[in-house]
């Protein structure tokens, strides 16, 4: 049983660095997880959320480019099958890294594939913000932290804040 509302896991929780597992069976638990993830994303004013960010190491993401529940979509086993266009700079944030922001360079266009909650396979050519969210969230499923994609200046600027998050994590871990 899921404990809802789901709590967002913060850096440096090790679940964020793990490669999440493929979902082979879409069952009630998957559907409950998806609904709870949408709720957690919307409540946190996020536009994307990956299951490892709620402590579940499985390949499912939710996104909503407007941040509204009505625009949210669920993507199971999402993968980038093609990318192209210019490499573009964009400032990203992440719910697992409160107050950390930095420029990440990514391809402008990606073609993504995924399954929906009925197990149907979809493919879409995306660009702009949606392409950005897909890439950021799929990175989470592969255990890739967005700060590792920062340039040297943003890495340096994030350093103190990351140190603070590491200290907060150590305090919480000691309490458990």
Annotated active-site residue 113? The verdict is no
Residue 25 DSSP label:
-
Residue position matching structure tokens 């409950």: 32
Q: Is 147 in the site for Co ion (CB under 5 A)?
A: no
Q: Is 51 in the site for Co ion (CB under 5 A)?
A: no
Opening angle at CA 10, ends 139 and 106, nearest 5: 25
Using the contact rule CB under 5 A, the part of the chain among 27-35, 77-85, 92-100, 112-120 near Co ion is 92-100
| CB 118, min distance to Co ion, A | 26
Q: Is 130 in the site for Co ion (CB under 5 A)?
A: no
Among 41, 94, 138, 141, contact with Co ion (rule: CB under 5 A): 94
- At residue 4, φ and ψ (nearest 5 deg) are -110, 155
Exposure of 88 by Cβ count < 10 A (0-12 exposed, 13-18 middle, 19+ buried)? middle
Distance CA 6, CA 160 (A): 27
**Closest-CB residue for Co ion?**
94
74/94 with CB nearer Co ion: 94
Q: Which of 21, 22, 99, 137 is catalytic?
A: 137
């Amino acid at each position: 049983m899921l404990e809802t509302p789901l709590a967002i896991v913060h850096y440096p929780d090790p679940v964020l660095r793990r490669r999440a597992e493929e979902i082979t069976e879409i069952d009630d638990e998957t559907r409950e997880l998806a609904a709870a993830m949408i709720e957690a994303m919307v409540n946190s004013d996020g536009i994307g959320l990956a299951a490892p960010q709620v402590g579940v190491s499985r390949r499912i993401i939710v996104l909503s480019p407007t941040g509204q529940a009505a625009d949210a979509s669920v993507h199971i086993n999402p993968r980038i099958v093609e990318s192209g266009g210019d490499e573009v700079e964009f400032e990203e944030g992440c719910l697992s890294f409160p107050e950390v922001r930095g420029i990440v360079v990514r391809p402008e266009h990606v073609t993504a594939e995924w399954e929906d909650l009925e197990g149907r396979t979809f493919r879409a050519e995306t660009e702009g913000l949606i392409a950005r969210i897909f890439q950021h969230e799929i990175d989470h499923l592969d255990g890739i932290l967005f700060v590792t994609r920062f340039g040297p200046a943003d890495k340096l600027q994030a350093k103190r804040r990351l140190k603070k998050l590491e200290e907060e994590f150590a305090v919480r871990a000691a309490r458990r």
